[in-house]
Amino acid sequence: MSDQSLIGDGHRAGVLSIAVISPDDERRKAAMNELSACHTGPVREFTAYYPDLSEVERVIGHSYDVVLVDMDSDIEYALELVHTISSQELAIAMVYSAKAEPELLVRCMRAGARELLRLPFSCGEMAEALSRASALLSSDSPVQKTAGKLLVFLGAKGGSGVTTLACNFAVSLAKEHKKKTILIDLNLPLGDAAISLGIKAEHTIVSAFQNVARLDSLFLSSMLVQHDSGLSVLAAPNELAPTFVSVEAIDKLLEVARREFDFVVVDAGSKLDLQRKHMFDDSATIYLVTQAGIPELRNCHRLISQLAETGGPKVEVVLNRYDARRMDLDEDHIVQALNRPVNWKIPNQYAAVRRMQNTAAPLSEEGAAISQVIRQMTESVCGRPPVPEKKKKRFSLFR
């Protein structure tokens, strides 16, 4: 039976047909051995790259579900081969290499590769990649999961503490609630989320905006950096970045992120252009962060009014650095200024926040009172009833 007849019936039965291309006997054998351990469908070996890329369509045709390409024999030619396979939609292109440089990963993704497997193959890596390919190809794949919740932190004024709250909120979702969470730093031109979390990013949000046409879940994953809490972070650049980004680019990024994550937390700083507020649909929540000062409350009131005009996202007001004993305005005056109640009050703990900024340790690690309120906020978005705070026992002479 020919390879072409195998693929036609095999894919309909949920079994992938695979081509392995490598001029190197040892690397090709390594790929074949790994496939034999996890795959029962048809596999064909190609012992050389094609001498002419124009022949790829004729030789490959649509005979294979997956084409696995060895990158290390000739990287430049292999990238061209992957691009040809992907751009002509001949098959799902996967690549494998003994090199692990981030630059190679990005180039492979830009060429259209869906997976980059590293030699020597790690346990289960090939099987997981094929499982994702099968789900991508299957016409009988289950209904796509509900899009993740979009949670945007926006400051009424610069210095409101947006980044501190967004970072600790996202860490709480990932660590305490075990939710698949991404933090996107949209606080351009210079965002501090990565610094606040003590992580260093090889790639930043600028890479996503420069490659919008290729932006998918795999490309997004190549730009993320992991925090110890399990949180994924798409960092802002260390150098000055353009402050204008097209609505289409932001929409595409959020769309891809919401397909892959349960929660998408955005640090929007205080410079979000509300003329683009349609990027946040009515299923999103904006946490509008303010302080108890006249300029902040005035801006906050304006933002609430503007967001309410078109019935857009849900808005929750977060009063940061709250200290009832030292505020010039009491809560009644604040509610009157905003024309609505405050949803969350974040206690003023300057020393704890300063330690976090200097040590990059989340506030939850030291049990700061701020973290208790943030935990209540995350319990709310997870649909869980808030855990009541333990009341301090009062001293009494009587039992």
**346-362 pLDDT, tens digit each:** 998 777 888 877 777 78
CA distance 71 to 17: 20
CA distance 375 to 200: 26
Residue range 7-137, CATH number:
3.40.50.2300
Mean pLDDT of 64-74: 93
CA distance 9 to 17: 10
pLDDT confidence of residue 358: 76
Residues above pLDDT 70, as percent of the chain: 84
pLDDT, tens only, 55-64: 788 878 778 9
Query: Which band of pLDDT confidence, cut at 50, 70 and 90, is reported for residue 98?
Result: very high
Residue range 149-381, CATH number:
3.40.50.300
- List Cβ<8 Å contacts ≥24 apart for 348-352: 348/321, 348/322, 348/323, 350/321
pLDDT confidence of residue 241: 61
- Sequence ranges of the chain with CATH classification 3.40.50.300: 149-381
pLDDT confidence of residue 50: 72
pLDDT confidence of residue 386: 58
Under 8 Å between Cβ of 202 and 149: no
pLDDT confidence of residue 289: 92
Per-residue pLDDT at 36 exceeds 60 = yes
Residue 97: half-sphere exposure toward Cβ, Cα within 13 Å: 21
94: its two tokens:
């996967």
Comparison of pLDDT for 369 and 399, the residue scoring more: 369
pLDDT confidence of residue 282: 75
pLDDT confidence of residue 66: 94
End-to-end CA distance of the chain: 88
Query: Which band of pLDDT confidence, cut at 50, 70 and 90, is reported for residue 140?
Result: very low
Residues above pLDDT 90, as percent of the chain: 32
Distances (CA, A) of 282 to 187, 193, 236, 257: 22, 26, 26, 17
Query: Which band of pLDDT confidence, cut at 50, 70 and 90, is reported for residue 13?
Result: very low
- Sequence ranges of the chain with CATH classification 3.40.50.2300: 7-137
Lowest pLDDT segment from 47-56, 97-106, 167-176, 277-286? 277-286
Mean pLDDT of 118-141: 81
Mean pLDDT (the chain) is: 82
Listed residue (149, 144, 148) closest to 313, CA to CA: 149
Q: Residue 128 contacts by C-beta under 8 Å, 6 or more apart in sequence?
A: none
CA distance 176 to 375: 8
Classify strands 232-234 and 225-226 as parallel, antiparallel or unpaired: antiparallel
Extended beta strands in 22-78, E state: 43-46, 66-70
Torsion angle, CA of 118/121/122/125, rounded to 10 degrees? Answer: 80
Distances (CA, A) of 298 to 94, 156, 290, 302, 375: 54, 9, 10, 6, 28
Which residue has tokens 């440089």? 101
pLDDT, tens only, 250-288: 888 999 999 889 999 999 988 666 545 555 667 789 999
Query: Which band of pLDDT confidence, cut at 50, 70 and 90, is reported for residue 5?
Result: very low
pLDDT confidence of residue 262: 93
Which residue has tokens 């980004």? 245
Q: Residue 247 contacts by C-beta under 8 Å, 6 or more apart in sequence?
A: 276, 278, 279
